[in-house]
Chain A
Amino acid sequence: EVQLVESGGGLVQPGRSLKLSCLASGFTFSNYGMNWIRQAPGKGLEWVASISSSSSYIYYADTVKGRFTISRDNAKNTLYLQMTSLRSEDTALYYCARPYGGFDYWGQGVMVTVSS
């Protein structure tokens, strides 16, 4: 069974950093690109970042470029999102998702709240 489990969220002050993790199981993680997608409270979905299976190709939304870094450790079956210079508008539920056709598997999400 494919599972994606996010962790690392919480309450953080503006300007600080936070690192999210997404532990994958039930499939060969190293064969798939991965994505982070977020959803602000009561709002729609926003794609955040994408990384290819071997980390060769990485893309970011303009809203996070230069502040967020997506990475992965295929030996640990884990996807990461390092978030720096956090802003109130980064407050959201962050999902990791596997792309296959569409995004066929999503985690349950981890909440990040940026507030003083």
Chain B
Amino acid sequence: DIQMTQSPASLSASLEEIVTITCQASQDIGNWLSWYQQKPGKSPQLLIYGATSLADGVPSRFSGSRSGTQYSLKISRLQVEDIGIYYCLQAYSAPYTFGAGTKLELK
């Protein structure tokens, strides 16, 4: 099974700060990587798919990148509404696997 190692587990950042979250895949997953944001009491929301493509309606301050088997989600200028938990997901091969999540808080 493919393991997704997500870091950091938690992150405290200031408004307008640049935030980066990473996921390391245990093997090649190509671009079959997506990112999700989950707010308390809500269903997860797709942010990035295909490692780098922005989902519909997602602000352009969110971006995704890939370097080999390492994937990153970047928030260019943190806003209050970006607070939540972020997950990566590999859908290259079943069983699909999520990262453990990154809890993003305001400093």
Report chain A residues within 8 Å CB of B100.
Answer: 44
Q: Which of B38, B89, B97, B101 contacts A102 (CB 8 A)?
A: B89
Residues of B in contact (CB 8 Å), total: 27
Whole-angstrom distance between the Cβ of A35 and the nearest chain B Cβ: 8
Which of B53, B96, B101 is close to A47, meaning CB atoms less than 8 Å apart?
B96
Q: Is the pair B94, A101 in contact by a Cβ cutoff of 8 Å?
A: no
Q: What range describes how many residues of A lie at the interface?
A: 20 to 34
B95 CB-CB contact with A under 8 Å:
yes
A45 to B56, CA, bound (A): 22
The CA-CA distance from A99 to B35 in the complex, in Å, is: 13
Do B43 and A107 touch across chains, with their CB atoms under 8 A apart?
A: yes
A80 at the B interface (CB under 8 A): no
Closest chain B residue to A63 by CB distance?
B95
B89 engages A47 (CB within 8 Å):
yes
Rounded to whole angstroms, the CA-CA distance of A62 and B95 in the bound complex is: 8
B96, A101: Cβ atoms under 8 Å? no
Which residue in chain A gives the minimum CB-CB distance to B87?
Answer: A45
Query: Which residue of A is nearest B32, CB measured?
Result: A102
Q: Is the interface of A mostly helix, strand, loop or mixed?
A: strand
**Closest Cβ neighbor of B35 among chain A residues:** A102
**Residues A101 and B53 in contact in the complex (CB < 8 Å), given A45-B44, A47-B89, A107-B43:** yes
Expressed in whole angstroms, the Cα–Cα distance for A93 and B104 within the complex equals 22
Whole-angstrom distance between the alpha carbons of A62 and B96 in the complex?
11
B36 at the interface (CB under 8 A from A): yes
Contact of B34 among A61, A101, A107 (CB under 8 A): A101
Residues on B facing A (Cβ under 8 Å): 1, 34-36, 38, 43-46, 48-50, 53, 55-56, 85, 87, 89, 91, 94-101
Task: List chain A positions with a Cβ less than 8 A from chain B.
Answer: 35, 44-47, 50, 59-62, 95, 99, 101-104, 106-109
Per CB-CB distance, the 6 closest pairs between chain A and chain B, nearest first, are A102-B34, A101-B49, A59-B94, A102-B49, A106-B43, A47-B96
